[in-house]
Amino acid sequence: NIYLNDVSKLNETEIYSLFYPRTINDIEYLISKAKSQGKTISMRGQAHTMGGQTLPSRRNKNKNYVCDLKYMNHVEYNEPTEEVSVEAGATWTQVIHTLNLYGRSPVIMQSYCTFSVAGTISVNAHGITSDDAMIESVISIEYIDMNGKRGECSRQKQSELFSLLVGGYGLFGIITRLRLKTVANVKTSLEYIRLQVKFSLHY
Protein backbone atom coordinates (compact mmCIF):
# COMPACT_ATOMS: atom_id res chain seq x y z
CA ASN A 1 0.00 0.00 0.00
CA ILE A 2 1.11 3.57 -0.72
CA TYR A 3 0.41 6.32 1.82
CA LEU A 4 1.06 10.02 1.31
CA ASN A 5 0.89 13.01 3.63
CA ASP A 6 1.50 16.74 3.46
CA VAL A 7 3.77 18.93 5.56
CA SER A 8 1.26 19.03 8.44
CA LYS A 9 1.57 15.23 8.93
CA LEU A 10 -2.17 15.22 9.74
CA ASN A 11 -3.57 14.02 6.42
CA GLU A 12 -2.20 10.55 5.72
CA THR A 13 -4.03 9.16 2.69
CA GLU A 14 -3.83 5.81 0.93
CA ILE A 15 -3.48 6.08 -2.84
CA TYR A 16 -3.54 3.64 -5.73
CA SER A 17 -0.37 4.71 -7.52
CA LEU A 18 2.30 7.44 -7.43
CA PHE A 19 3.96 8.81 -10.57
CA TYR A 20 7.10 10.93 -10.99
CA PRO A 21 7.04 12.33 -14.55
CA ARG A 22 10.26 13.67 -16.04
CA THR A 23 8.78 15.08 -19.24
CA ILE A 24 5.52 16.47 -20.61
CA ASN A 25 5.16 13.24 -22.59
CA ASP A 26 5.08 11.34 -19.29
CA ILE A 27 2.18 13.50 -18.10
CA GLU A 28 0.32 12.96 -21.36
CA TYR A 29 0.74 9.20 -20.92
CA LEU A 30 -0.53 9.41 -17.33
CA ILE A 31 -3.65 11.33 -18.38
CA SER A 32 -4.37 8.78 -21.12
CA LYS A 33 -3.84 5.90 -18.68
CA ALA A 34 -6.08 7.48 -16.04
CA LYS A 35 -8.90 8.11 -18.52
CA SER A 36 -8.79 4.54 -19.86
CA GLN A 37 -8.83 3.04 -16.36
CA GLY A 38 -11.30 5.43 -14.74
CA LYS A 39 -8.75 6.89 -12.31
CA THR A 40 -8.46 10.39 -10.88
CA ILE A 41 -5.25 12.44 -10.84
CA SER A 42 -4.07 14.69 -8.02
CA MET A 43 -1.07 17.00 -8.39
CA ARG A 44 1.70 17.83 -5.95
CA GLY A 45 4.96 19.76 -6.06
CA GLN A 46 6.85 19.84 -2.75
CA ALA A 47 3.80 18.77 -0.66
CA HIS A 48 3.85 21.91 1.48
CA THR A 49 0.08 22.35 1.76
CA MET A 50 -1.22 21.81 5.28
CA GLY A 51 -4.88 20.93 4.80
CA GLY A 52 -4.71 17.93 2.50
CA GLN A 53 -5.56 20.05 -0.55
CA THR A 54 -3.17 18.19 -2.85
CA LEU A 55 -4.22 14.75 -1.62
CA PRO A 56 -7.03 12.75 -3.25
CA SER A 57 -10.25 11.72 -1.55
CA ARG A 58 -9.79 8.94 1.00
CA ARG A 59 -13.10 7.45 -0.15
CA ASN A 60 -11.68 6.48 -3.55
CA LYS A 61 -8.34 4.94 -2.61
CA ASN A 62 -8.54 2.42 -5.47
CA LYS A 63 -9.02 5.19 -8.05
CA ASN A 64 -6.35 7.67 -7.02
CA TYR A 65 -3.29 8.51 -9.08
CA VAL A 66 -0.94 11.13 -7.66
CA CYS A 67 1.40 12.98 -10.02
CA ASP A 68 4.47 14.34 -8.21
CA LEU A 69 6.26 16.94 -10.35
CA LYS A 70 9.44 17.35 -8.28
CA TYR A 71 11.67 15.96 -11.04
CA MET A 72 10.37 18.37 -13.67
CA ASN A 73 12.60 21.15 -12.37
CA HIS A 74 14.56 22.71 -15.24
CA VAL A 75 15.20 26.47 -14.92
CA GLU A 76 16.47 28.59 -17.83
CA TYR A 77 17.14 32.33 -17.91
CA ASN A 78 16.68 34.34 -21.12
CA GLU A 79 19.08 37.28 -21.04
CA PRO A 80 17.63 39.29 -23.97
CA THR A 81 14.11 39.31 -22.46
CA GLU A 82 15.19 39.17 -18.79
CA GLU A 83 12.62 36.41 -18.26
CA VAL A 84 13.06 33.02 -16.66
CA SER A 85 11.41 29.79 -17.82
CA VAL A 86 10.66 27.41 -14.96
CA GLU A 87 9.34 23.85 -15.02
CA ALA A 88 6.52 23.12 -12.59
CA GLY A 89 8.46 21.15 -9.99
CA ALA A 90 11.37 23.57 -9.61
CA THR A 91 11.65 25.25 -6.23
CA TRP A 92 12.16 28.96 -5.67
CA THR A 93 15.61 28.07 -4.31
CA GLN A 94 16.56 26.68 -7.72
CA VAL A 95 15.17 29.77 -9.45
CA ILE A 96 17.09 32.11 -7.13
CA HIS A 97 20.37 30.22 -7.59
CA THR A 98 20.01 30.30 -11.38
CA LEU A 99 19.15 34.00 -11.49
CA ASN A 100 22.02 34.89 -9.13
CA LEU A 101 24.43 33.89 -11.90
CA TYR A 102 23.04 36.76 -13.99
CA GLY A 103 22.59 39.32 -11.22
CA ARG A 104 18.83 38.89 -11.36
CA SER A 105 16.12 37.95 -8.87
CA PRO A 106 12.45 36.93 -8.82
CA VAL A 107 10.16 39.97 -8.76
CA ILE A 108 8.46 38.71 -5.60
CA MET A 109 9.66 36.18 -3.04
CA GLN A 110 7.93 34.10 -0.39
CA SER A 111 9.07 33.74 3.20
CA TYR A 112 10.41 30.26 2.35
CA CYS A 113 12.10 29.19 -0.87
CA THR A 114 11.38 25.46 -0.61
CA PHE A 115 7.97 25.63 -2.31
CA SER A 116 7.61 24.54 -5.92
CA VAL A 117 6.96 27.40 -8.33
CA ALA A 118 3.84 25.79 -9.83
CA GLY A 119 2.62 24.94 -6.33
CA THR A 120 2.93 28.59 -5.32
CA ILE A 121 0.85 29.70 -8.30
CA SER A 122 -1.64 26.83 -7.94
CA VAL A 123 -2.56 28.04 -4.44
CA ASN A 124 -2.35 31.75 -5.38
CA ALA A 125 0.17 32.44 -2.64
CA HIS A 126 1.18 35.91 -1.48
CA GLY A 127 4.73 37.20 -1.30
CA ILE A 128 6.77 38.70 1.50
CA THR A 129 8.91 41.17 -0.48
CA SER A 130 5.96 43.02 -1.99
CA ASP A 131 2.31 43.82 -1.38
CA ASP A 132 1.48 41.86 -4.54
CA ALA A 133 0.53 38.20 -4.88
CA MET A 134 3.09 35.93 -6.53
CA ILE A 135 0.97 35.83 -9.70
CA GLU A 136 2.08 39.39 -10.51
CA SER A 137 5.44 37.99 -11.62
CA VAL A 138 3.91 35.44 -14.03
CA ILE A 139 3.94 36.25 -17.75
CA SER A 140 2.46 33.01 -19.08
CA ILE A 141 1.58 29.47 -18.03
CA GLU A 142 2.05 26.30 -20.08
CA TYR A 143 -0.36 23.52 -19.18
CA ILE A 144 -1.95 20.20 -20.15
CA ASP A 145 -5.74 19.95 -19.93
CA MET A 146 -7.90 16.99 -18.89
CA ASN A 147 -7.86 15.65 -22.45
CA GLY A 148 -4.07 15.63 -22.63
CA LYS A 149 -3.92 18.70 -24.87
CA ARG A 150 -1.02 21.11 -24.42
CA GLY A 151 -1.53 24.86 -24.34
CA GLU A 152 -0.24 28.20 -23.13
CA CYS A 153 -2.23 31.02 -21.57
CA SER A 154 -1.59 34.52 -20.27
CA ARG A 155 -3.47 37.68 -19.34
CA GLN A 156 -3.87 38.38 -23.05
CA LYS A 157 -4.38 34.83 -24.37
CA GLN A 158 -7.06 32.57 -22.82
CA SER A 159 -7.26 34.99 -19.91
CA GLU A 160 -10.12 33.15 -18.20
CA LEU A 161 -8.16 29.89 -18.09
CA PHE A 162 -5.12 31.82 -16.88
CA SER A 163 -7.14 33.09 -13.90
CA LEU A 164 -8.50 29.59 -13.21
CA LEU A 165 -5.06 27.97 -13.17
CA VAL A 166 -4.02 30.53 -10.56
CA GLY A 167 -5.33 29.13 -7.29
CA GLY A 168 -6.95 26.18 -9.06
CA TYR A 169 -4.93 23.38 -7.39
CA GLY A 170 -4.63 21.63 -10.76
CA LEU A 171 -8.40 21.24 -11.20
CA PHE A 172 -8.45 23.18 -14.48
CA GLY A 173 -5.21 21.86 -15.95
CA ILE A 174 -1.77 20.65 -15.00
CA ILE A 175 0.80 23.45 -14.98
CA THR A 176 3.97 22.26 -16.72
CA ARG A 177 6.02 25.44 -17.12
CA LEU A 178 5.85 29.13 -16.22
CA ARG A 179 7.48 32.20 -17.71
CA LEU A 180 8.34 34.77 -15.03
CA LYS A 181 9.54 38.36 -14.86
CA THR A 182 12.81 39.13 -13.10
CA VAL A 183 14.40 42.23 -11.58
CA ALA A 184 17.95 43.33 -10.82
CA ASN A 185 19.34 41.57 -7.76
CA VAL A 186 19.91 44.15 -5.01
CA LYS A 187 20.84 43.89 -1.36
CA THR A 188 17.89 44.46 0.98
CA SER A 189 17.58 45.01 4.71
CA LEU A 190 14.85 44.31 7.22
CA GLU A 191 13.57 46.95 9.63
CA TYR A 192 11.29 46.14 12.54
CA ILE A 193 9.77 47.78 15.60
CA ARG A 194 9.68 46.00 18.95
CA LEU A 195 6.74 46.86 21.21
CA GLN A 196 6.29 46.04 24.87
CA VAL A 197 3.33 43.76 25.65
CA LYS A 198 1.76 46.34 27.96
CA PHE A 199 1.87 48.88 25.11
CA SER A 200 0.03 46.46 22.79
CA LEU A 201 -2.65 45.71 25.38
CA HIS A 202 -3.26 49.42 25.90
CA TYR A 203 -4.31 49.72 22.25
- Interval 103-115: pLDDT, tens: 999 998 888 889 9
What is the pTM for the complete model shown? Answer: 0.86
d(CA 161, CA 159): 5
DSSP line for 73-140: --EEEETTTTEEEEETT-BHHHHHHHHHTTTEEESS--S-S-SBHHHHHHTT-B-SSSSSBGGGGEEE
Indicate the pLDDT class of residue 202, thresholds 50, 70 and 90.
low
pLDDT at 61 > cutoff 90: no
Query: Cβ(150)–Cβ(173) under 8 Å?
Result: no
Distance, in Å, from the CA atom of 137 to the CA atom of 134, rounded to the nearest integer, reads 6
What's the whole-number mean pLDDT along residues 26-52?
90
Q: Is it the case that residue 8 has pLDDT exceeding 90? A: no
Domains of the chain: 2-68 (3.30.43.10), 75-184 (3.30.465.10)
Given a contact cutoff of 8 angstroms between Cβ atoms, the answer to whether 46 and 54 are in contact is no
> What band does 38 get if pLDDT is binned at 50, 70 and 90?
very high
Residue 129 — very low, low, confident or very high, per pLDDT cuts 50/70/90? confident
